[in-house]
Amino acid sequence: MKKKVTKIGVLTSGGDAPGMNACIRAVVRTGIYYGMDVYGIMRGYTGMVENDIFQMESRSVANIIQRGGTILKTSRCKDFFTSEGRKKAYDNLTKLGINGLVIIGGDGSFRGAQTFSNEYDIPCVGLPGTIDKDIAGTDFTIGFDTAVNTAVEAIDKIRDTADAHDRLFIIEVMGRDAGYIALHSGIATGAENILIPERKTDIEEVIKQLAEKERRHKLVNIIVVAEGDEFGGADEIAKIIKARLPMQDVRVCILGHIQRGGSPTCFDRLIASRMGYSAVECLMEGKFNVFVGMVNNRMYFTPLNEAVKKKQRISEEWMKIVRILAS
């Protein structure tokens, strides 16, 4: 018989993502609705180790659904990698009687939760909060839609200036070693080429395409590069293109951290609310040590020990569409 979960802690860990606040709100309010005490844990696992934990009320999460970042703050916690650190965390939780945890973060945070729940009898439920969308077992992650829309808005603006000056812009987007933000934002902005880590970058092919466009006097070009592209990012690509095609007026724009911030999109608020609610239900129903995803518009639960980075398989058809539509 599984123990009844009556006091839960919620934390945000690893890289921040827009929609984390909407998710915290859902966890807090669902927990309270079902009669649980809910505690906010500050700065990810650091708050567990350092006992930075406070009880939350329904009002504690008022007016945050539309805010980016995370009111609980986040961190990368070195101490949690050590058994001493995790023991301290466990002692702090048990002092307060916390007997269930909801962890909003990426695959690293899930690995931490898995390690902790193997050692101690505190069930954990993970929620995928990452702009990179690089976790297997879910079609969406909280924050991806907002990040990709921010990238689209920025690239649209850059296209205006590219068009005014007949320029080639190489735009670098985030995603760590995943190319989802680049792929989605590149397709949505009509990029001439999209360079992602999941597909080997053939620089000769990129140059050939640009040279062919130069012959046709098509000088306004946008190339979207994922930060994790093995070829070396926007600066590196620009250097080579400038050397090989001196006629091209090449500029680089690295979008950077603007992609992490800002008000979450409706879609991110919806999935954050749904997943947050579902995480509390998991703890109530004894569905322990899983993370909550969504597959084909249904909640989908994956054991934390199977939480792995998703390697994107890019269909060749997508890349063909990019080439045809950008001609």
Q: Which of 9, 40, 47, 106 binds ligand ADP (CB under 6 A)?
A: 106
Q: Is 18 in the site for ligand ADP (CB under 6 A)?
A: no
Our CA angle for 126, 129, 132, nearest 5°, is: 130
Give the residue among 190, 167, 184 at the shortest CA–CA distance from 327: 190
- Could you give phi then psi for residue 281, rounded to 5 degrees? -60, -40
Q: In angstroms, what is the minimal distance from the CB of 103 to ligand ADP?
A: 8
Question: Which residues partner with 221 through β-bridges?
Answer: 168
229 in catalytic set: no
Nearer to ligand ADP, 112 or 123 (CB): 112
The reply to whether 143 sits near ligand ADP by the rule CB under 6 A is no
289 binds ligand ADP, rule: CB under 6 A: no
Binder to ligand ADP among 81, 119, 232, 242 (CB under 6 A)?
81
**Contact region with ligand ADP (CB under 6 A), list: 58-66, 73-81, 141-149, 260-268:** 73-81
Cβ distance to ligand ADP smaller for residue 116 or 169? 116
Contact flag: residue 69 with ligand ADP (CB under 6 A): no
- The candidate with the shortest Cα–Cα distance to 291, out of 119, 96, 48, 112, is 112
With CB under 6 A as the contact rule, the residue among 45, 90, 144, 291 that binds ligand ADP is: 45
Residue type, 204: E
Under the binding rule (CB under 6 A), the answer on residue 14 touching ligand ADP is yes
Report if residue 54 touches ligand ADP, rule: CB under 6 A: no
* Residue 126 φ/ψ region, left for φ over 0, alpha for ψ in the -120 to 50 degree band, beta for the rest: beta
Q: Which of 107, 145, 192, 198 binds ligand ADP (CB under 6 A)?
A: 107
The residue within the footprint of ligand ADP, chosen from 8, 9, 15, 275 (CB under 6 A), is 15
Q: Is 80 in the site for ligand ADP (CB under 6 A)?
A: yes
φ, ψ for residue 38 (rounded to 5)? -120, 130
Q: Which amino acid is at 282?
A: C
Asked if 8 contacts 101 with a C-beta cutoff of 8 angstroms, the reply is yes
**Buried/exposed code over 46-73 (b: 16+ C-beta within 10 A; e: otherwise):** bbbbbeebeebeeebbeebbebbbbbbb
Q: Is 234 in the site for ligand ADP (CB under 6 A)?
A: no
- The C-alpha atoms of residue 236 and residue 29 are separated, in whole angstroms, by 48
User: Catalytic: which of 132, 145, 229, 268?
Assistant: 132
Size of the site for ligand ADP (CB under 6 A): 17
Query: How do strand 298-303 and strand 290-295 relate by DSSP bridges?
Result: antiparallel
Q: Is 197 helix (H, G, I), strand (E, B) or coil?
A: coil
> Is 291 a binder of ligand ADP (CB under 6 A)?
no
Q: Among 20, 143, 141, 126, which residue's Cα sits nearest to residue 70?
A: 20
> Residues 112, 126, 186, 228: which binds ligand ADP (CB under 6 A)?
112
Which residues contact ligand ADP (rule: CB under 6 A)?
A: 13-15, 45, 76-77, 80-81, 105-109, 111-112, 115, 130
Question: Active-site residues: which are they?
Answer: 132
